Amino acid sequence: MKYAHQAVRHVRAGGHAVVWETDARAWMVVPQPDPANVSDLGYWSILDLGRQRYRIAKVGPFRGLAVARIPRGNEWIGRRRAERDSIWPGPMRSVRFDCLTCGACCRSNEVILEREDVNRFKKSGRDDLLKRPLVRKGANGKITLALLRNKDCRHMGSDNRCGIYEIRPNACRHFPVGSECCLFAREEELGVHDGVVGGEHPLKRE
DSSP bridge partners of 7: none
Report the nearest approach of ligand SF4 to the CB of residue 160 (Å): 7
Q: Which residues of 172-185 are buried (b: 16+ CB within 10 A; e: fewer)?
A: beebbeebbbbbbb
Contact 203, 84 (CB under 8 A): yes
Binding stretches for ligand SF4 (CB under 6 A): 97, 99, 102-106, 109, 111, 145, 153, 155-156, 162, 164, 168-169, 172, 175, 177, 182, 185-186
Tell me the closest approach of the beta carbon of residue 111 to ligand SF4, in angstroms: 5
Q: For ligand SF4, give the closer residue by CB, 88 or 97.
A: 97
Q: How far is the CB of 48 from ligand SF4 (least distance, A)?
A: 12
Residues 6+ apart with CB under 8 A from 57: 63, 64, 65, 66, 67
Nearer to ligand SF4 by Cβ, of 5 and 151: the residue is: 151
Taking the complex as a whole, how short is the minimal distance between the CB of residue 168 and ligand SF4, in angstroms? 5
Please name the helix (run of DSSP H) or strand (run of DSSP E) that holds residue 21, with its range, or none.
Answer: strand 17-22
Cβ closer to ligand SF4: 34 or 110? 110
